[in-house]
A and B are shown apart, each in its own frame.
Chain A
Amino acid sequence: MASTTASAFEYAPAPESRSVVDIAPSYGLFIDGEFTEAADGKVFKTVSPSTEEVLSEIAQAGEADVDRAVRAARKAFGKWSALPGSERAKYLFRIARIIQERSRELAVLETLDNGKPIKETRDADLPLVAAHFFYYAGWADKLDHAGFGVDPKPLGVAGQVIPWNFPLLMLAWKIAPALATGNTVVLKPAETTPLSALFFADVCRQAGLPKGVVNILPGYGDAGAALVAHPDVNKVAFTGSTAVGKAIARQVAGSHKKVTLELGGKGANIVFDDAPIDQAVEGIVSGIFFNQGQVCCAGSRLLVQESIQDELLESLKRRLATLRLGDPLDKNTDIGAINSAEQLSRITTLVEQGEAEGAERWSPDCELPTSGYWFAPTLFTNVTQAHTVARDEIFGPVLSVLSFRTPEEAVAKANNTPYGLSAGIWTEKGSRILAVASRLRAGVIWSNTFNKFDPTSPFGGYKESGFGREGGRHGLEAYLDVR
């Protein structure tokens, strides 16, 4: 889109080389330290969302494979949990180091498979992935000090199901604390982004991780459901949609499985009249256009104080016109491809519904590539709380703008959602930040910043955004018997 609006700032293409990573034509499931075909021989293809090029053919896990992987994890659990924490720690430190060494390969791979800009995989995802393994490695031999009693025990086999928006980061969030606390894992990555998890299997091999401690089962929702339902799984961790989260909560009812759910959101980004406008605009942009808005904690509802609405919107639109959409491997790209055709059609449907309901749609002048799945950054103004675009999670680069007059109204509107994952507050006034933060029903509140993550900082939602926390000392609880 820069081509039409900012010709003075034309950038030459600056593509990252994809030759740094070898993608095999096919991959198996990773069970008990070996790559293996699916029991029923099924395979599926994973494509690059920016070009629709087939990247590889992947074995598709079914129920029998889930059972095999859980048995491998159970077998490995005895020895793994009995290892001194200091030894488990060293394995995790090794993994962290190998990820750092190979982060360029992984960043390229993730960008190819997911469609997100290399700028983000290289500068956000990969450093955070390594940091998570480092952080939890250090906990492995200090669990007695974590505040969950002396000698806290692992739960057993953890069944983990992760989404496609941050494939490797979600893997790290799930696997690092599970291994640090002495559990073994069976992880199912999403069907559209299996590659980095399979690459991670190779990292485990290089680190010398004992067989069966980590098992990776690429597959579809049926494999995830079979994993959650497996009677020999002790702990279920899921990140994904609220609808699936509720199904999981029903599925595990009456069992002894411990569950954590990181679900959807509809984050409010609240801008007060005394906010630093330029910083707020940057925060709004990263809040909703980071990873094409495919972020559960995205700031998808902009609540702006009425007196500055026009000024802010003008600034925001000007900023959006400078965003560069295109080849995710180009180092100057801000907005990459939508992860899948299916996701693109979901976004399109919701946006059309927004228009039909009378909200006003705006996008910068923007040329979309002819192949791949793309959606231009989009603003909706003239939005009310009753509009679908203000209520339903769109999970794409779509921002709904609402206004408010008083802080009370801002808080009421921000809380007027079944979700409670994130929120943002922009104001110069410290006491207002603290007053508003204390009244927002959300698990993570970013004031005068947005979308910041760190392994030491617990993350998770209130209300229908799920339960449990990942990250930090709090994140250990999900994998320990703390009774």
Chain B
Amino acid sequence: MSDKTDKTEQQRLSVFKTYKLYVGGKFPRSESGRVYEVTDAKGKWLANAPQSSRKDARDAVVAARKAFGGWSGATAYNRGQILYRVAEMLEGRKGQFVHEVADAEGLSKSKAAEQVEATIDRWVWYAGWTDKIAQVVGGGNPVAGPYFNLSSPEPTGVVAVLAPQESSFLGLVSVLAPVIATGNTAIVIASERSPLPALSLGEVLATSDVPGGVVNVLSGRTAEIAAPLAAHQDVNAIDLAGADDVLAKELEIAAADNLKRVLRPQPVDDWTATPGTDRMTAFLETKTVWHPTGSLGASGSSY
């Protein structure tokens, strides 16, 4: 008996992590008090993740709305700096994410490392977009009259993002980064089966100068959390990447109530391929401003 005790004392008992949601810059448990078992690809228990409720979703909307003014009003340069800071933090925590992605997706350490590196690079790619997208999709319009006429893109507002179910980290970042790079705020629903990389990303965001509420991470049953978000009058857009066809249709119908911008699920064969700009433009509005130019020295008033 005493021998056995000695032996276990020599083996260090690891410290499990209690995974929490990330809402409004804080790490709450689900208000419902529910958790669900997250297992690795082979079915081994990894952690108990919070199982978010409708109330958690609504709290996340409040946080995202509150953060929208500041984030959308920040300079594009500033947003780029902050997003790049996230990439720096991710790089420093690479080991943790490799571990989590390997477990979540049943990948070898080296395959998981490739995924994580591609993810960090993806984040850097979007960090560089913040102050370029306006020039690429906006510009002056040569109207037939004495007017200055300029179109600029603006973020649409609060965006609910259903992260892809299969790609727990690269897929997640590929749908989240474009939403916030352009000044929207986001409520992201992590992959239902593999939520741990997403919940850990929340910890990275919290230490990366990203203002609280800009990104809110919920884990749980995708369909349960997405339904109130799709129907929410203060959500402006929804990305259905993580919804199957049946759920997507249901959510799209609910989203019509306040004419949310909807990005329908689009088959992605390879998340590592360089994206286009469509995930950014899907959540941008074009604002066009007119002003008379008048004519110097002319008589008559063309104000």
Please report A residues at the B interface, Cβ cutoff 8 Å. Answer: 131, 147, 149, 242, 245-247, 249-250, 253-254, 256, 261, 263, 276, 278-279, 418, 433, 437, 442-449, 452, 454, 456-460, 462-464, 466-467, 469, 472, 474, 477, 482-483
Contacts and interface: CB of A to CB of B under 8 A. Distances in A.
B141 A472 contact: yes
B259 interface: yes
B208 interface: no
26 contacts: A253-B249, A254-B245, A254-B252, A256-B264, A276-B303, A278-B301, A437-B289, A442-B287, A443-B285, A443-B287, A443-B288, A444-B289, A445-B287, A445-B288, A445-B289, A449-B147, A449-B303, A452-B147, A454-B147, A456-B141, A456-B143, A456-B144, A462-B156, A466-B259, A474-B151, A477-B281
Given A254-B253, A472-B151, 11 more contacts: A131-B144, A246-B259, A253-B249, A253-B252, A263-B259, A418-B258, A457-B141, A457-B143, A462-B287, A464-B259, A477-B281
B70 interface: no
Contact of A454 (B141, B236, B287, B292): B141
Contacts of A447: 289-291
Contacts of B145: 452, 454
B256 interface: yes
B266 A483 contact: yes
Contacts, number: 111
Given A253-B249, A263-B259, A454-B149, A279 B301 contact: yes
A415 to B, nearest CB: 12
B137 interface: yes
A388 to B, nearest CB: 20
B261 interface: yes
Nearest to A279: B303
Contacts of B149: 454, 456-457
B278 interface: yes
Given A445-B287, A483-B266, A253 B253 contact: yes
Q: Determine the main DSSP class of A at the interface with B.
A: loop
Top 8 A-B pairs, shortest CB-CB distance: A254-B249, A249-B256, A253-B252, A454-B143, A279-B303, A457-B141, A250-B256, A456-B141
Contacts of B252: 249, 253-254
A290 to B, nearest CB: 15
A365 B143 CA distance: 38
Contact of A449 (B236, B261, B278, B291): B291
B74 interface: no
Contact of B276 (A263, A433, A457, A483): A483
Given A276-B303, A445-B289, A457-B288, A463 B276 contact: no
Chain B contact-residue range equals 35 or more
A448 B285 contact: no
A458 B151 contact: yes
Given A249-B259, A472-B141, A452 B276 contact: no
Contacts of B229: none
Given A254-B245, A454-B141, A149 B287 contact: no
A276 B236 CA distance: 36
Nearest to B266: A483
Given A449-B292, A458-B288, A472-B141, A246 B256 contact: yes
Contacts of B249: 253-254
Contact of A254 (B151, B248, B261, B278): B248
A459 B261 CA distance: 17
B224 interface: no
Contact of B288 (A242, A459, A483): A459
B286 interface: yes
Nearest to A447: B291
A437 to B, nearest CB: 5
A254 B245 CA distance: 7
A458 B140 CA distance: 11
Contacts of B136: 147
B257 interface: yes
Most B-side CB within 10 Å, residue of A149, A263, A467 = A467
B303 A448 contact: yes
Given A454-B145, A454-B149, A474-B151, A443 B286 contact: yes
A135 to B, nearest CB: 9
A249 B259 CA distance: 7
Nearest to A482: B278
B287 A147 contact: no
B18 to A, nearest CB: 39
A467 B261 contact: yes
A259 B236 CA distance: 17
A407 B137 CA distance: 29
Interface string B169-206: 00000000000000000000000000000000000000
Nearest to A440: B287
B297 interface: no
A318 to B, nearest CB: 18
A448 to B, nearest CB: 5
A432 to B, nearest CB: 12
B43 interface: no
Most A-side CB within 10 Å, residue of B143, B288, B291 = B288
Most A-side CB within 10 Å, residue of B141, B255, B256, B289 = B289
Contacts of B144: 131, 454, 456
A437 B248 CA distance: 35
Contacts of B245: 254
Nearest to B148: A447
B33 interface: no
A457 B137 CA distance: 13
B151 A457 contact: yes
B259 A261 contact: yes
Contacts of B303: 276, 279, 448-449
A149 B286 contact: no
Given A279-B303, A448-B303, A483-B276, A458 B290 contact: no
Most A-side CB within 10 Å, residue of B143, B145, B257, B261 = B143
A285 to B, nearest CB: 14
Contact of A467 (B253, B259, B287): B259
A247 B259 CA distance: 10
B265 to A, nearest CB: 10
Contact of B291 (A433, A458, A474, A483): A433
Given A131-B144, A253-B252, A254-B252, A446 B151 contact: no
A253 B301 CA distance: 50
Contacts of A246: 256-257, 259
